[in-house]
Structure 1
Amino acid sequence: MMARIAFLKFSHVVLAGFAALTLSACSSTQATEPNDPLEGYNRVMFAVNDVVDQAVFRPVAKGYRFAVPQPARNGVRNFLNNLRAPIDLANETLQGDFAGVENVLVRTSVNTLIGVGGVIDVAGMEGYVHQREDFGQTLGVWGVGQGPYIIVPLLGPTTMRDGTGLLVDGFMDPLFWYLYNIEKFGWYYARLGVSYIDAREELLDALDDLRRNSFDYYAATRSAYLQRREAMVTDMSTGALGSHIPDYDAGEE
């Protein structure tokens, strides 16, 4: 069981990692030096992950974009967002963000009842936009620093704070425990797989632009990740990036 849980939690890490990469290459400098004591290892693992991404994940994401129309992809993304509402709600509550709590409750009730189980984002059309919240953000709101930056094999960037937070999020997820208890865990793996593909597809253009326009792709993605995560902690606007950063989705947003 512990091996299974560890695999699932690390799978969550990649979604946050890909989500962070949506910042443009021009954001690749920070006011302070990044906390990257393992840079030598991280650069090697980043290169390995990039080879796998270019050979496997990017082609799969492009195939998904080609085969599935945009409205259908939006429906998948909306449904995935609706499934993680309990995690968003728990973290909004722990952060003391009661406007965020109201937003999650309205979105979940409206989209579940009227939006065909969350496939149609009816609440979003009325101004109740999705705001992804995770325990890494909650720790940041509580004043916990990001900690060392690290590249997880095959799964991408994280920090000590975010990795810990995503592990906690997994244990917060009622769907995780429900499917485990009824011995239908295959559905949870399916959800992770679809979430990964959705996150990677959403970030196809942003990642390609980042690669083309960055002198140092590793440094650019590191800066993008760290800045994006801090922006999420303070609920800063994502501007031209849009409000949906998966975090993946591994395309949330």
Structure 2
Amino acid sequence: MKNIAQYARWTGAAAAFALVAGCATGPNANPADPFEPLNRGVSSFNETVDDAVLVPVATAYQRVLPSMVRSGVNNFFNNIGDVWSLANNVAQLKLQGSAETFMRLNVNTFFGLGGLLDVASEAGIQRHEEDFGQTLGYWGVGSGPYVVLPLLGPSTLRDTVAKPLDYYGDPLAHMDDVRWRNSLVALRVVDTRAQYLRAGRLIGDAALDKYSFTRDAFLQRRRSQVYDGNPPDDGAGK
């Protein structure tokens, strides 16, 4: 029941965000980003939190822990993420992706010390990351407008609506021990942010408009993910 209630809160939050965002449209809005004024405000808030909290913590994490330990942490969370990727590969009827993801899970869990070692990649078993937003896109649901979510960052309306199921499909969300669950979620956030420290600095130094650069890069990457790296040239966004 707790997970159902959390799912409902997520769905309500997504719907509320879309409703509020609709008030921010303007006559000169970018077709891909009609909520730009609101998105820029949320993006500015996220950057403030990132600079004040995540960057210092991620920097300390990167400096204190040896690369081998950080690699083990990253492998562990990737292995956990493969559980939901498997479900979405199956939902998209991707036989090869489903089979290889299933093999990755078993190989890394049983022979990689619970996922700390990425034995599957060394054996040439490809990783197929999929989430519910990609599954919706695969079945023809359009991406909708670009949105920036508080703390969660760049998204689309479709992916925002999909996030409750992505949350529900996260194995960490089903841990009964709240302290362990919150600790692991926090560790995953820090580990993920540490991987993009250098990229974040490069974007900040190179981009004349960081917001526009991030938006365009995200939308292009997301479209590529939905089409498995081979998007059509028709210009229609998925």
TM-score (norm 1): 0.77
CA distance in 2 between counterparts of 1:68 and 1:54 reads 21
Q: What's the CA shift for 1:174?
A: 4.7
Report matched runs for 1:117-128 at 5 Å: 117-128=114-125
| Cα gap change, 1:217 to 1:8, in 2 (>3 Å) | farther
Is 2:80 the counterpart of 1:79? no
2:152 paired residue number: 155
1:45 paired residue number: 42
1:67 paired residue number: 64
Output one character per residue of 1:50-75: Cα deviation in whole Å (capped at 9) or x when no partner.
11111111111111100111111111
Q: Which of 138, 142, 161 is the matching residue for 2:135?
A: 138
CA distance in 2 between counterparts of 1:152 and 1:162 reads 11
Equivalent residues of 1:135, 1:166 under 8 A apart: yes
1:5 paired residue number: 6
Secondary structure of 2:154 counterpart: strand
| Cα gap change, 1:99 to 1:148, in 2 (>3 Å) | same
CA distance in 2 between counterparts of 1:158 and 1:54 reads 20
Q: What's the CA shift for 1:175?
A: 4.6
- Which consecutive unaligned segments of at least 5 residues does structure 2 have? 15-29, 231-238
CA distance in 2 between counterparts of 1:5 and 1:220 reads 33
Q: What's the CA shift for 1:159?
A: 1.1
Is 2:194 the counterpart of 1:201? yes
1:19 paired residue number: none
2:225 paired residue number: 232
2:99 paired residue number: 102
| Cα gap change, 1:200 to 1:95, in 2 (>3 Å) | same
Q: What's the CA shift for 1:48?
A: 1.6
Q: What's the CA shift for 1:166?
A: 2.3
Output one character per residue of 1:202-223: Cα deviation in whole Å (capped at 9) or x when no partner.
0111111111111110000011
Secondary structure of 1:89 counterpart: helix
Aligned residues: 212
Is 2:213 the counterpart of 1:220? yes
Rg comparison, structure with higher value:
2
Moved over 3 A (4+): 1-4, 6-10
- Give the root-mean-square deviation of aligned CA atoms: 2.4
Secondary structure of 2:155 counterpart: strand
1:248 paired residue number: none
- Which consecutive unaligned segments of at least 5 residues does structure 1 have? 14-32, 238-253
Aligned residues: percent identity? 39
Greater relative CO, 1 or 2 (CA 8 Å, sep 6+): 1
**Match for 2:91: what amino acid?**
L
Q: What's the CA shift for 1:95?
A: 0.8
TM-score (norm 2): 0.82
Q: What's the CA shift for 1:85?
A: 2.3
Output one character per residue of 1:189-245: Cα deviation in whole Å (capped at 9) or x when no partner.
2222111111100011111111111111000001111111111111118xxxxxxxx
Equivalent residues of 1:81, 1:130 under 8 A apart: no
CA distance in 2 between counterparts of 1:196 and 1:8 reads 21
CA distance in 2 between counterparts of 1:224 and 1:192 reads 26
Q: What's the CA shift for 1:8?
A: 9.7
Q: Which of 166, 190, 201 is the matching residue for 2:183?
A: 190
Equivalent residues of 2:7, 2:168 under 8 A apart: no
Equivalent residues of 1:34, 1:223 under 8 A apart: no
Secondary structure of 2:148 counterpart: strand
| Cα gap change, 1:128 to 1:34, in 2 (>3 Å) | farther
Secondary structure of 2:208 counterpart: coil
Secondary structure of 1:150 counterpart: strand
Q: What's the CA shift for 1:167?
A: 1.4
CA distance in 1 between counterparts of 2:225 and 2:211 reads 21
